A and B are shown apart, each in its own frame.
Chain A
Amino acid sequence: MKHPGRRRFLAGAGGALALAALPESVFAQAAIDPVVQSVVRGAPVKRGRVKLDLPELADNGNSVPVKIAVESPMTAADHVRAIYLLSERNPERNMATFQLGPRSGRAEIVTRVRLAGSQRVIALAELSDGSYWMDAAEIIVTLSACIDES
């Protein structure tokens, strides 16, 4: 599946796509989100390593491509144990949990999700040393899954 469009917060005046960093306030809000806390249970959540790719706009929330990549050597000593894909607004906020290990070779998942409206999506990675790393992305959804059904 082709790589979904990268999220763009602000394009530079010169037209070059500037991948602006996730605003600190958004990251802080996401970190204290109960669904994130239900996974990390008070452990600190760090920025970095995780890259969540989601389109800026989905005109149909029934099928939205998403890619999560985590920087990791994926060795026995240092690897990603699990990736949690969390939704701010879906009826089931834990969309999926992927379990990886040294045999994965690369910590990268691509899938298609349903999104019940415009929201923030969170990708949370649990590493073999017990640390948590996170990325989040905002998306506008014009036709919501679950809610706008025909």
Chain B
Amino acid sequence: MTRSPAIGAAVLVLGAAVLAAGATAQERPVPRDKVQSGVAFLAPDQRALQQDAFANPGMLWVERGERLWREPPGAGGRSCASCHGDAAASMKGVAARYPVFDAKAGRLLNLEGRINECRTAHQGAAPFPYESEALLSLTAYVAYQSRGMPVAVAIDGPARKHFESGEQLYYQRRGQLNLACAQCHTENWGRKLGPETISQGHPNAYPLYRLEWQTLGSLQRRFRSCLSGIRAEMLPYGSPEYLDLELYVAWRAAGLEIETPGVRR
């Protein structure tokens, strides 16, 4: 069956438009074959520390998370385990696809947000604040169940506008130093900033043990450190901008293995 030339041309134009839009979105700032985890930019003893199953300091929080998983939140609420059972089975692959647009909550959620959503909606408990021992421990424990799995977030459907917002934030210059994330992590990764080698800025090892913090910390804590470093305003924890940025950087890291709990400088 032959098509009319007009429709054929329309299909062609439409196809090109889709391709163009797709190409812009799919065009990766760091090509997939050049994507490298931050672990590649560490000193050898720091890398060894991350890979030491026992001595990795982040494991202290993973263990605490395991205990919290099994504990009821108090006031007669249900524990995580009572719904989700063995985390090794039920949480496998979860961290790899977060942040995700949660239809029921009606918004983009990162792992911390998902945990707090469960706390308030199903456990009758107050949400944990960012950087609290409890939230760090549970987030680390859940993400740990995806260790070794490739980051793979969805940026279509309801997540699309968040992805685009995150992308815009990533390329937006800000702060007294007037720098955008892209300038260090896309344009100058592999080069030196002081004594340090600039990484590509991937989130695949979060929450992680940062030697500078001497404790485990979240991705949003790291965003805030960067903002402070370029003398930009640090938005409060949980800001929608951070969520959008989390989605964008997760997309940027597609294919990298989850390393939680990571060790970084």
Direct contact of A and B (CB under 8 A): yes
What residues of chain A have their CB less than 8 Å away from a CB belonging to chain B? 1-2, 4-5, 55, 57-60, 62-65, 142-143, 150
Cβ of B48: which chain A residues have Cβ within 8 Å of it? Answer: 1-2
17 more A-B contacts (CB under 8 A) besides A5-B45, A63-B214?
Answer: A1-B49, A1-B52, A1-B54, A1-B55, A2-B45, A2-B52, A5-B44, A55-B45, A60-B46, A60-B211, A60-B265, A62-B211, A62-B212, A63-B211, A142-B194, A143-B265, A150-B225
Docked Cα-Cα span, A145 to B232, in Å, equals: 26
Question: In the complex, which residues of chain A have a beta carbon less than 8 angstroms from the beta carbon of B52?
Answer: 1-2
Q: Which of B235-265 contact A (CB under 8 A)?
A: 265
CB proximity to A under 8 Å, residues B49-94:
49, 52, 54-55
Query: Given the complex of chains A and B, what is the CA–CA distance between A55 and B44 in angstroms?
Result: 10
Instruction: Offer 5 A-B interface pairs, CB within 8 angstroms, sorted by A.
Output: A55-B45, A57-B43, A59-B195, A63-B211, A65-B49
Tell me what chain A mostly uses at the interface: helix, strand, loop, or mixed. Answer: loop
Nearest CB of chain A from residue B183's CB, rounded to whole Å? 21
B196 located at the interface, meaning its Cβ lies under 8 Å from any Cβ of chain A in the complex: yes
Query: Which of A59, A62, A65 meets B196, CB within 8 Å?
Result: A59
Docked complex Cα distance between A57 and B43 (Å): 9
Chain A residues with CB under 8 Å of B195's CB are 59, 142-143
> Do residues B214 and A62 form an inter-chain contact, with CB atoms below 8 A?
yes
What is the minimal beta-carbon distance from A67 to any residue of chain B, in angstroms? 11
Q: Hey, which chain B residues are within 8 Å of A150, CB to CB? A: 212, 225
